[in-house]
C-alpha cells in the first residue's frame, strides 16, 4: 500500500515503505551505552523511530542493482538525534520467485544501539477492509506497554486474550500496535490470508519479535520485524548494542502465494 509520488513519502507521517533506523520503535530518554548516559531527541521523554534523524526520509545511494535485486546505502553521522557513532548501512531488496527478501547490514565506528526494520503496509484485498483477512502470529506473548507505548520490560501471555493469533483468525475490529515475542522454534513467524483474493503472505525473520500495526485511517497492516523496543533501558531484553568489530545483520522474507491454484 504505497503513495503516488516520491515527494509524498518524504512528508508521510505513517512511514509508508520506509526503512526505520537507526533504532526502530520507542525509546525512553536517556539511553545507556557502557554505563554512560546519552540524551536523545524526544517528545515527552520518548523517541519514536529515531525522530527527525530517521532513515525513512533520507536519500539513499544505489550501491548495486540487477533485474531482481537492488542494494541501497546510507551513512548516518555520529551524534544524529543523540546517538553516538557513525553508522554505514546497506539494505538489499531481492525478488526470488514469489519471495521478497530484505537483507540489512550496518557497521558502526563506536559502540551504539541499532535496531532496523521495514515499515511497508499490506492489504491482500486492496478493494476491501483488512478486518476480514486472517492473521497468524507464532507468538505466545506480547510485551507489556506503558501508557506511552514504551515496553515495561515485562511480557503478557496471549492465551485467552484478543492477541492470541497462534492459529489463524480474522483481524475483525481489533486495532493493533503491539510487539509480539516470536517463539524461538517457529520457522514461520506470521502470515496473512485474504479469502476474497486467495492470496497468502508469509513472513520469515531472524529477529526475536515483530510489531503488528494496523493504522487507524487506511486499510492496511504492517509487519515490523525487529528487536525489542526500549532495549537500551531494559537489562533483561536481548541486547541491541553493536560494536565496531561485529556488524548488525538482519534478514526478513515475505513469501506470496495462492494456495488454491
The DSSP-derived string for 80-147 is GGG--S-EEEEEEEEEETTEEEEEEEEEESS-EE-B-EEE-EE-SSTTS-GGGSEEEE-EEEEEEE-T
Interval 94-124: pLDDT, tens: 999 999 999 999 999 999 999 999 999 999 9
**Is pLDDT at 185 greater than 80 in this prediction?**
no
Q: Coil, strand, or helix at residue 2?
A: coil
The one catalytic residue in 49, 113, 119, 202 is 119
Cβ–Cβ under 8 Å, residues 139 and 166? yes
Q: What is the pLDDT of residue 63?
A: 87
Examine the residue annotation and report whether 119 is marked as an active-site residue of this protein.
yes
Interval 136-179: pLDDT, tens: 999 999 999 999 999 999 999 999 999 999 999 999 999 999 99
Which CATH code, of 2.60.40.10, 2.60.120.560, 2.70.98.10, 1.10.3720.10, is assigned to 6-257?
A: 2.70.98.10
Chain-centre distance for alpha carbon 203: 12
> Residue 261 — pLDDT band, cuts 50, 70, 90?
low
Interval 20-46: pLDDT, tens: 999 999 999 999 998 899 999 999 999
Vertex 124 angle, CA 169 and 227, to 5°: 70
The DSSP-derived string for 193-258 is EETTTTEEEEEEESSSEEEEE--SSSS-EEEEEES-TTGGG-TTSPP-EE-TTS-EEEEEEEEEE-
Examine the residue annotation and report whether 67 is marked as an active-site residue of this protein.
no
According to DSSP, the residues that pair with 18 across neighbouring strands are 119
In angstroms, rounded to a whole number, what is the distance separating the alpha carbons of residues 247 and 77?
Answer: 16
Q: What is the pLDDT of residue 105?
A: 98
Question: From residue 227, how far is each of 37, 159, 180, 196, 253 by CA, in Å?
Answer: 21, 22, 10, 33, 16
Q: What is the pLDDT of residue 184?
A: 80
**pTM reported for the whole predicted model:** 0.94
> Residue 127 — pLDDT band, cuts 50, 70, 90?
confident
In angstroms, rounded to a whole number, what is the distance separating the alpha carbons of residues 89 and 179?
Answer: 24
**Is pLDDT at 6 greater than 70 in this prediction?**
yes
Mean pLDDT of 193-203: 96
The one catalytic residue in 28, 113, 202, 224 is 224
Amino acid at each position: 500500500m504505497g503513495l503516488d509520488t516520491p515527494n509524498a513519502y518524504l512528508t508521510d507521517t505513517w512511514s509508508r515503505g520506509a526503512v526505520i533506523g537507526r533504532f526502530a520503535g520507542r525509546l525512553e530518554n536517556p539511553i545507556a551505552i557502557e554505563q554512560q548516559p546519552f540524551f536523545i531527541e524526544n517528545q515527552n521523554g520518548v523517541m519514536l523511530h529515531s525522530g527527525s534523524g530517521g532513515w525513512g526520509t533520507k536519500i539513499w545511494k544505489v550501491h548495486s542493482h540487477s533485474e531482481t535485486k537492488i542494494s541501497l546505502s546510507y551513512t548516518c553521522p555520529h551524534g544524529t538525534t543523540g546517538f553516538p557513532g557513525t553508522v554505514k548501512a546497506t539494505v538489499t531488496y531481492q525478488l526470488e520467485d514469489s519471495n521478497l527478501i530484505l537483507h540489512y547490514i550496518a557497521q558502526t565506528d563506536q559502540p551504539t544501539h541499532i535496531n532496523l526494520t521495514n515499515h511497508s503496509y499490506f492489504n491482500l484485498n486492496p478493494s476491501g477492509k483488512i478486518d476480514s483477512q486472517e492473521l497468524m502470529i507464532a507468538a505466545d506473548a506480547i510485551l507489556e506497554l506503558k501508557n506511552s507505548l514504551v515496553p515495561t520490560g515485562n511480557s503478557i501471555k496471549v492465551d485467552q486474550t484478543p492477541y492470541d493469533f497462534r492459529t489463524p483468525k480474522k483481524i475483525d475490529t481489533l486495532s493493533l500496535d503491539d510487539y509480539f515475542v516470536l517463539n524461538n522454534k517457529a520457522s514461520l513467524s506470521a502470515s496473512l490470508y485474504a479469502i476474497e483474493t486467495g492470496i497468502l503472505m508469509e513472513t520469515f525473520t531472524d529477529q526475536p519479535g515483530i510489531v503488528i500495526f494496523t493504522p487507524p485511517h487506511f486499510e492496511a497492516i504492517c509487519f515490523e520485524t525487529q528487536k525489542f523496543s526500549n532495549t537500551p533501558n531494559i537489562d533483561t531484553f536481548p541486547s541491541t548494542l553493536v560494536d565496531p568489530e561485529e556488524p548488525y545483520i538482519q534478514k526478513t522474507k515475505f513469501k506470496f502465494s495462492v494456495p488454491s491454484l
